[in-house]
């Protein structure tokens, strides 16, 4: 068994760039985030995908831990942590998508997710951190080392599920507590997280089922093939709450976006006279006309009638 002290020494002696606001806090925040997600069962295969959850929890932890004016850029530590070593061997690496290479820091999160498949710990470090007691000990030592003034407050806030990512999720779900709160979007990473949450939470409140056709299709890998559709496009409304969303299968999503389908004030389906299809086909859309769409369990997640009226006026081609 390797000496565990070498892991702790490396992780609490990270090489961090000097900035005009002090030593860069990016790598410690990323490490704390990775350990937190491991605790929740994320990345049990040592694959840390740069997805909504990883970027969102990084952003949350940054806001809870960092008091300086440094910018919460996830892409920096995700790439530069590859330079860190344990006993002369790197403990973090990025695995590129097929036919892609990662030769430099990619500053755009959208570009990064198209090039990088996932990050991973070295096998030796991952095995060590897979032990819950080791992981909890290292997580606390990281906070004590890099953010000593935040130890108690951070643990308390996390226990209460408080912070940016949880507040954003509550906002998108239009929960009563978050309903009047407006969370501004300022960076590309914030857009990425909000968009990802919208795409995940809208199908979730509709139980992964198309609200019009009733189609439910997923996979054992956790994929869902039901889309999150904006009623009023985000570029117009800047509204990504579930009340501006519908869960639709891809063909109905396209028809809705192109004005061939709309929803009435009584939540019944309206079809455009411009639809051309084989009406006798088993999957034709004419069978849905004047049927009532399925609605989420909680009324706070139902589609906003004012937004549906806007869609009928501005997009629908009756």
Q: Is 72 a member of any domain? A: yes
> For residue 177, what pLDDT is reported?
66
Burial 120-135, CB ≥16 within 10 A → b, else e: bbbeebeebbeeeebb
**What's the total number of domains in the chain?**
2
Q: Is 203 a member of any domain? A: no
Q: Is 119 a member of any domain? A: yes
* Same domain, residue pair 150 and 231: no
Q: Is 109 a member of any domain? A: yes
Query: What is the residue-level pLDDT of the chain in tens, covering all 318 positions?
Result: 467 789 999 999 999 999 999 899 999 999 999 999 999 999 899 999 999 999 999 999 999 999 999 999 999 999 999 999 998 999 999 999 999 999 999 999 999 999 999 999 999 999 999 999 999 999 999 999 999 999 999 989 888 888 889 889 989 999 876 555 556 667 899 999 999 999 999 999 999 999 999 998 776 666 778 999 999 999 899 899 999 999 999 999 999 999 999 999 999 999 988 887 676 666 677 888 899 999 999 999 999 999 999 999 999 997
Looking at 106, 137, 162, the residue that finishes a domain is 162
Residue 33 CA: distances (Å) to CA of 188, 235, 275, 302 = 19, 31, 49, 33
Dump pLDDT digits (tens) for 224-253. Answer: 789 999 999 998 998 999 999 999 999 999
Give CA–CA dist 109/31, Å, rounded.
18
Looking at 162, 182, 198, the residue that finishes a domain is 162
Q: Is 184 a member of any domain? A: no
> For residue 100, what pLDDT is reported?
94
Residue 162 CA: distances (Å) to CA of 94, 123, 156, 199 = 30, 32, 9, 22
* Same domain, residue pair 137 and 232: no
Dump pLDDT digits (tens) for 102-154. Answer: 999 999 999 999 999 999 999 999 999 999 999 999 999 999 999 999 999 99
* Same domain, residue pair 9 and 137: yes
* Same domain, residue pair 286 and 146: no
Give CA–CA dist 67/188, Å, rounded.
21
> For residue 94, what pLDDT is reported?
98
> For residue 217, what pLDDT is reported?
76
* Same domain, residue pair 9 and 156: yes
Q: Is 158 a member of any domain? A: yes
* Domain limits for position 79: 5-162
Which residues, including other chains, have CB under 8 Å from residue 5's CB and lie 6 or more apart?
Answer: none
Q: Is 151 a member of any domain? A: yes
Q: Is 9 a member of any domain? A: yes
> For residue 74, what pLDDT is reported?
97
């Amino acid at each position: 068994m390797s000496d565990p002290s070498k892991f702790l020494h490396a992780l609490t002696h990270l090489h961090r760039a000097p900035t005009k606001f002090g030593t860069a806090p990016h790598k410690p925040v990323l490490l704390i985030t990775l350990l937190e997600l491991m605790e929740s069962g994320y990345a049990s295969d040592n694959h840390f995908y740069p997805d909504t959850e990883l970027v969102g929890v990084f952003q949350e932890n940054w806001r809870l831990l960092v008091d300086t004016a440094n910018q919460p850029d996830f892409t920096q530590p995700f790439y530069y942590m590859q330079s860190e070593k344990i006993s002369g061997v790197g403990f973090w690496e990025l695995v590129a998508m097929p036919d892609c290479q990662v030769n430099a820091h990619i500053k755009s999160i959208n570009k990064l997710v198209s090039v990088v498949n996932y990050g991973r710990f070295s096998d030796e470090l991952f095995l060590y951190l897979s032990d819950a007691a080791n992981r909890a000990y290292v997580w606390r030592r990281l906070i004590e080392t890099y953010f000593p003034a935040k130890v108690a407050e951070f643990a308390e806030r996390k226990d209460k599920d408080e912070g940016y990512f949880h507040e954003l999720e509550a906002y998108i779900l239009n929960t009563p507590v978050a309903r009047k709160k407006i969370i501004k979007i300022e960076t590309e990473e914030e857009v990425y997280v909000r968009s990802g949450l919208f795409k995940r939470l809208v199908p979730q409140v509709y139980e992964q089922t198309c609200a019009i056709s009733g189609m439910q299709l997923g996979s054992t890998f956790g994929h869902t093939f039901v889309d999150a559709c904006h009623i009023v496009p985000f570029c117009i409304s800047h509204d990504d709450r579930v009340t501006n969303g519908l869960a639709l299968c891809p063909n109905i999503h396209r028809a809705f976006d192109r004005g061939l389908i709309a929803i009435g004030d009584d939540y019944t389906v309206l079809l455009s006279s411009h639809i051309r299809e084989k009406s006798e086909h088993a999957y034709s859309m004419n069978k849905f006309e004047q049927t009532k769409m399925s609605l989420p369990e909680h009324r706070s997640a139902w589609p906003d009638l004012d937004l549906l009226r806007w869609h009928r006026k501005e997009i629908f081609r009756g």
